Structure 1
């Protein structure tokens, strides 16, 4: 992952990581690294197919780091001062992981259909869904829920809620992707909305 980031991206990753470590604990930081590892694996998987379709993205900039890392970092900071505990943070990570799996693995199977008019579109189109992408989205958020069971000691029931929260965040990301295709917003803004939704559902879980 480090080799895929530009220098500003590396600097921002360090700032976010240090903040998460200081205001959370080591388990919080490990969960971020799990997300990064899963992201790399999802990106690398199906390299030749993605390359042929013209949708393979290897390099990552500070904008990618900001869109995926800002909200979870803010959630950790707010949780530190407001006593939320780790659940909203875990759910925000689950949401961005769900989105990453859907976008990187969903393009490799199924026929994507745009939510705008329910028309079949090319793989990689924002605001589109496919059976493979939907399943991969749920798998990504579930992976975070399972990891959180070991890192934070949450129960299987809470892990299931984490998976559903992440999945919901991914769905909202897809909905806002429709506007992105029309020129309103960017992939970065939809990613932030995705993680915000995950965190908000996490707050509802602990309320």
Structure 2
């Protein structure tokens, strides 16, 4: 494993602000909610740096992160905590977990799936590694694993029932497919990876109201 992970000053500042919002408005679960986000960050770094040398050879290694990455991944979870604070509705708590499960699933799929043969679901056309909207068998299993790492962590951190965590894991997995769908549009010049990532997290959160 050889790589780096850097966050620029604006990205760090935004991440700090979001962290404070989650910690304060998430009271009395603020620390647990923040720890769940830290788990996402930690395993995302591990996934990013896995096979870094190979990724660099393929010119698809992305170790540096900026404010756009922070917004695209962290805005939805932060909004869910704000909504939870003002409404007291625990559905927003579940949506918080689901949104993080979705972005984790997406991160695992994109960072680990490149070591398999990627293809578009529509037409089953094989494409180059790193193509937005592409899926792979390895990436699919990786995304499922990533989603369940987060959902099962919520059992310990937030005392959620195991059955609830199971469905949140599935929601996170499904949210990742929203990234694949909108990623195809990205390849056609509609949107970018940041808007696609935001949609992924938002879809994961909204699916909670369809499932629960």
**TM-score clears 0.5:** yes
User: 89, 100, 114: which is aligned to 1:107?
Assistant: 114
Is contact 1:20-1:28 (8 Å) kept? yes
- CA drift at 1:205: 4.0
Partner residue in 2 for 1:17: 19
What's the offset of the Cα at 1:80?
1.3
1:94 aligns with 2:101: yes
CA distance in 2, matches of 1:122, 1:31: 33
How many residues are aligned here? Answer: 204
Cα distance, 1:90 vs structure 2:
0.4
* Cα root mean square deviation, aligned: 1.3
Q: Distance in 1 between matches of 2:63 and 2:123?
A: 31
1:75 aligns to 2:77 (yes or no):
no
The question of whether the paired residues in 2 share the 8 Å contact of 1:89 and 1:202 is answered with no
- TM-score, normalised to structure 2, is 0.93
Query: Matches of 2:157 and 2:89 in 1, distance apart?
Result: 17
TM-score, normalization: structure 1? 0.95
- What is the deviation of 1:3? 5.8
The alignment status of 1:84 with 2:86, answered yes or no, reads: no
Gaps of at least 5 residues in structure 2 are none
1:117 CA drift (Å): 3.5
Which of 62, 69, 89 aligns to 2:67? It is 62
SS in 2 for 1:57: coil
Matches of residues 1-207 of structure 1 in structure 2 within 5 Å?
4-24=6-26, 25-85=30-90, 86-108=93-115, 110-206=116-212
Q: Deviations over 1:47-106 (max 9, x none)?
A: 111111110111101100010001110111012112222211000100000000000111
| Paired residues of 1:4 and 1:59 also in contact (CA < 8 A) | yes
- For the 8 Å contact 1:114–1:120, the answer to whether it is kept is yes
